[in-house]
Amino acid sequence: MDWFEETLHPGFHSRLGIDRVLHETKTDHQHLIIFDNEEFGRVLALDGVVQTTERDEFIYHEMLAHTPILAHGRARNVLIVGGGDGGMLEEVLKHDSVETAVQVEIDDTVVELAKQHLRMICGDAYEDPRTELVIADGVEYVNETDRRFDIIIVDSTDPIGPGEVLFGQRFYGGCKQCLADGGILVTQNGVPFVQGEELSNTMQIFKGLFAEAACYRAGVPAYIGGDMTFGWGSDTPGYADVELDTLSARFNAAGLKTDYYTPKVHKGAFALPPFIARLMDKAPD
Ligand code: AG3
């Protein structure tokens, strides 16, 4: 069997068996491969790093979509930066209360191939009338747009290659600027056991930008090395600690069917083990 080897961490590689390659190409921005694996089903990897898999995508996408939307309680306009596979878009659109979902993705090839090969992940999200797909650089978009969003979800790759700029001050500052009053920004911040700096750096920037900077976590099997952390920034304090009863009422009203997210999981996700809490407070090297 051929093997796909992920080389994200210097001393820790993982391998996934390749049953079948659906597509492999060098796009204008990155190397892309879509293949089938016995354990994870269909897999998308960019520049040698697993981005999403058929079997476990629900964990990551549910936690990055439903957690901020239900904490907010009246989100109508949502911006997704990155997320070309469409899994996040699909999850966001499950909320009937969402009127527009703008997706800004730099690499149109990822979107085109997702429509061809990753329908089990993106469904019909790209055909939904509420979807606006913008092929552009996310950093420029958030710094230039006049639009305002209740929720911004940064569904980026890791801070290497085209995704690197999505972890910097200019990008996060632009996000803050296009958040509506009472808006919430969430970000993917890597697996802190092996990528602690990613979280520390983002949290330092969030603390300077937002009244409330927090993070929450979920274990996503395809992102090896333990729990993944998600960053949380808002100028409305208290969103990171909404009462369970309120979340449950909103969850039931939204009529969501989920496989990972529940209001209790939402609450528990903000409980941080000390090693992660310390990374949140650590000044960058
Ligand atoms: N983007 C996040 C991938 C992070 C992988 N990182 C890692 N293994 N540490 C996923 C895009 C899904 N829509």
CATH number corresponding to 2-53 = 2.30.140.10
Averaged pLDDT, 189-203 = 96
Give residue limits of the domains in the chain.
2-53, 57-281
* 144-165 residue pLDDT tens: 999 999 999 999 999 988 889 9
Residue 283's pLDDT band (cuts 50, 70, 90): confident
- How many Å lie between the centroid of ligand 1 and the Cα of residue 277? 21
Which pLDDT score is estimated for 162?
A: 84
- Summarize pLDDT for 89-116 with one digit per residue, the tens: 999 999 999 999 999 999 999 999 999 9
**Per-residue model confidence (pLDDT) at position 110:** 98
Average pLDDT over the chain reads: 97
Phi, psi for residue 150 in degrees, rounded to 5: -75, -35
pLDDT in tens, 37-47: 999 999 999 99
CB 208 within 8 A of CB 236: no
CB 91 less than 6 A from any atom of ligand 1: no
Contact 220, 87 (CB under 8 A): no
What is the predicted pLDDT for the residue at 156? 96
pTM of the model: 0.98
Whether residue 64 has its Cβ less than 6 Å from ligand 1: no
Give the tens place of pLDDT for each residue, 168-181.
999 999 999 999 99
* Class of the CATH domain delimited by 57-281: alpha beta
Whether the CB of 223 sits within 6 Å of ligand 1: yes
237-257 per-position pLDDT tens digit: 899 999 999 999 999 999 999
**Residue with CA at minimum distance from ligand 1 atom 2:** 157
